[in-house]
Amino acid sequence: MSGAGHAPRPLDERLLEAAVVLVLLGLLVAVRRLFPAFGAGAGTIASVGILLMGGTVLANLLELVGLPHLTGYLLAGVATGPYVLGMVDHRAVEDLAPVNQLALSLIALAGGAELRLASLRSGLRSLAWATLWQNILVLLVLAGVFVAARPLLPFLVGVPTAGVVGVGLLWGVIAVTRSPSATMGILSQTRAKGPLATFTLNFVMSSDVVVVVLLALVMTIARPLISPGSNLSLAAFRELGVEVLGSISVGTTLGLLLAAYMRLLGGRGLALLLIALGLVFTQLFDYLHFDWLLIFMAAGFVVQNLSKQGEPFVASIESMGEVVYVVFFGVAGAHLDLPVLRTLWPVALLFVVARGATSFVSARVASRFAEDPPALRNWGWAGLVSQAGLALGISANVQGEFPAFGAGLGALAVATVALNEMVGPVLFKVALDRCGETKAEAEEVEPAAGAEAFEP
Q: Each residue of 267-317: pLDDT tens digit?
A: 788 888 888 888 888 888 888 888 888 899 999 999 999 988 888 898 888
Residue 127: per-residue pLDDT: 93
The answer to whether residue 2 sits within a structural domain is: no
The answer to whether residue 207 sits within a structural domain is: yes
As a whole number of angstroms, the distance between CA 72 and CA 187 comes to: 16
Are 165 and 87 contained in the same domain? no
**More confident of the two residues 364 and 404:** 364
Residue 195: per-residue pLDDT: 92
Are 284 and 389 contained in the same domain? yes
CATH code assigned at 236: 1.20.1530.20
Residue 235: per-residue pLDDT: 67
The answer to whether residue 5 sits within a structural domain is: no
Q: Each residue of 247-265: pLDDT tens digit?
A: 899 999 999 999 999 988 8
Are 272 and 220 contained in the same domain? yes
The answer to whether residue 3 sits within a structural domain is: no
Are 129 and 269 contained in the same domain? yes
Residue 341: per-residue pLDDT: 80
The answer to whether residue 447 sits within a structural domain is: yes
Are 171 and 288 contained in the same domain? yes
Are 175 and 287 contained in the same domain? yes
Given 95, 114, 136, the domain boundary residue is 95
Q: How confident is the model at residue 434 (pLDDT cuts 50, 70, 90)?
A: very high
Given 95, 118, 143, the domain boundary residue is 95
Residue 1: per-residue pLDDT: 36
Are 230 and 268 contained in the same domain? yes
Are 151 and 25 contained in the same domain? no
Are 66 and 170 contained in the same domain? no
Number of independent structural domains in the chain? 2
Highest mean pLDDT among 28-37, 81-90, 300-309, 442-451: 300-309
Judge contact between 51 and 334, C-beta under 8 A.
Answer: yes
pLDDT mean across residues, the chain: 82
Q: 351 lies in which domain range?
A: 99-454
Are 364 and 261 contained in the same domain? yes
The answer to whether residue 156 sits within a structural domain is: yes
Q: Each residue of 106-152: pLDDT tens digit?
A: 888 988 898 888 888 888 999 999 999 999 999 999 999 999 999 99
The answer to whether residue 4 sits within a structural domain is: no
Given 95, 117, 148, the domain boundary residue is 95
Q: Each residue of 37-69: pLDDT tens digit?
A: 555 545 677 778 888 888 888 888 888 888 888
Are 269 and 182 contained in the same domain? yes
Residue 211: per-residue pLDDT: 86
The answer to whether residue 6 sits within a structural domain is: no
As a whole number of angstroms, the distance between CA 409 and CA 406 comes to: 5
Are 232 and 91 contained in the same domain? no
